[in-house]
């Protein structure tokens, strides 16, 4: 078996056009997250033979991981608002030998196109909240399609240190609109990701809990990890030029341009990490 069913990562590359910049970056950055995504999915203890929903599935790679977890008698539905991503996801799942165990549906995670209590669990990683809307309504909508006793799980980005030695620059970048997204300056503190446990409790979910997973990387970097970190850095703070001081912009360019002699990944002893936090709750049993 490969990384995803019958496929290794290298088998997926020809299925995603490089001209689709966002999709390609999502594929390139996958090695950074794959190990702890496996850990997070195992943390859910998905039932063998269960039926689940990956809300905001993107390329569908996590849906394939969950299909592996629930076994040949289980089923995973991936939902995304992008028809383009769904096309890639279907092709990848078919090539991976999962066509009968995974399907993909176009839709909005805030208005799920499913009947009440359709799934044994729902998962959403780095998708719920983009664009920002009322968080409680989101959790309630996710819980609506899960059967009593089933799990609602959201995995969200919570921190990173990617520019070692430049804490002031990185703090400034993190204070920009892209840096705090999906939170915005006009939102109240109760709508920040780190309040998810309260959202779960207010929505009536039981046993709310959280666990943080970390991706960490140090020199010497493998080619895959180096490429993935470049994609991550390029995706992390888009369009920040107007929000930071001119000197900080110049420093950011000097550190984060791959053709710069001071490119941050070439710093001797480079070390970086980021964290994502899994928030879970259980729909009350009837």
Using 50, 70 and 90 to split pLDDT, how confident is the model at 236?
very high
Task: Check whether 62 has a pLDDT greater than 90.
Answer: yes
Residue 134 confidence (pLDDT): 74
Residue 245 confidence (pLDDT): 97
Query: Who contacts 150 (Cβ-Cβ below 8 Å, separation ≥6)?
Result: 119, 120, 121, 122, 282, 283
Residue 133 confidence (pLDDT): 64
Task: Check whether 129 has a pLDDT greater than 70.
Answer: no
Residue 230 confidence (pLDDT): 96
Task: Check whether 10 has a pLDDT greater than 70.
Answer: yes
Task: Check whether 199 has a pLDDT greater than 60.
Answer: yes
250-255: average pLDDT: 98
SS3 letters across 68-113:
HHHCCCCEEEEEECCHHHHHHHHHHHHHCCCCCCEEEEECECCECC
What does DSSP say about strands 51-55 and 119-125: parallel, antiparallel, or unpaired? parallel
pLDDT of 172-187, one tens digit each? 999 999 999 888 888 8
Residue 130 confidence (pLDDT): 55
Contact 263, 257 (CB under 8 A): yes
105-131: average pLDDT: 89
Domain annotation for the chain: domains and CATH numbers: 9-282 (3.40.50.150)
The rounded mean pLDDT for the chain is 93
96-119: average pLDDT: 95
Task: Check whether 61 has a pLDDT greater than 80.
Answer: yes
The arrangement of strands across the sheet holding 119-125 comes to 102-106, 75-80, 51-55, 119-125, 146-161, 271-282, 206-218
216-234: average pLDDT: 96
Residue 195 confidence (pLDDT): 92
């Amino acid at each position: 078996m490969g990384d995803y069913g019958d496929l290794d990562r290298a088998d997926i590359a020809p299925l995603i056009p490089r001209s689709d910049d966002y999709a390609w970056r999502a594929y390139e950055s996958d090695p950074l997250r794959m190990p702890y995504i496996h850990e997070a999915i195992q943390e859910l203890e998905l039932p063998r033979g269960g039926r689940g929903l990956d809300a905001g599935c993107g390329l569908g790679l996590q849906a394939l991981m969950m299909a592996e977890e629930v076994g040949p008698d289980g089923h995973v539905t991936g939902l995304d608002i992008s028809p383009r991503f769904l096309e890639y996801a279907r092709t990848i799942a078919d090539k991976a030998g999962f066509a009968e165990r995974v399907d993909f549906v176009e839709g909005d995670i805030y208005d799920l196109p499913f009947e009440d209590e359709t799934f044994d669990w729902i998962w959403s990683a780095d998708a719920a909240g983009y664009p920002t809307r009322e968080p409680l309504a989101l959790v309630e909508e996710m819980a609506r399609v899960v059967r009593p006793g089933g799990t609602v799980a959201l995995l969200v980005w919570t921190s990173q240190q990617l520019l070692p030695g430049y804490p002031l620059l990185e703090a400034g970048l993190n204070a920009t609109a892209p840096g705090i997204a999906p939170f915005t300056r006009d939102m109240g503190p109760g709508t920040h990701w780190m309040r998810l446990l309260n959202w779960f409790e207010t929505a009536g979910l039981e046993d709310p809990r959280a666990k943080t997973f970390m991706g960490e990387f140090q020199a010497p970097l493998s080619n895959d990890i180096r490429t993935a970190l470049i994609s991550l850095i390029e995706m992390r703070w888009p369009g920040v030029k107007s929000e930071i001081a001119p000197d900080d912009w110049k420093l950011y360019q000097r550190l984060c341009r791959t053709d710069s002699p001071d490119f941050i990944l070439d710093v001797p002893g480079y070390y970086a990490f980021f964290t994502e936090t899994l928030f879970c709750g259980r729909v009350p049993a009837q």
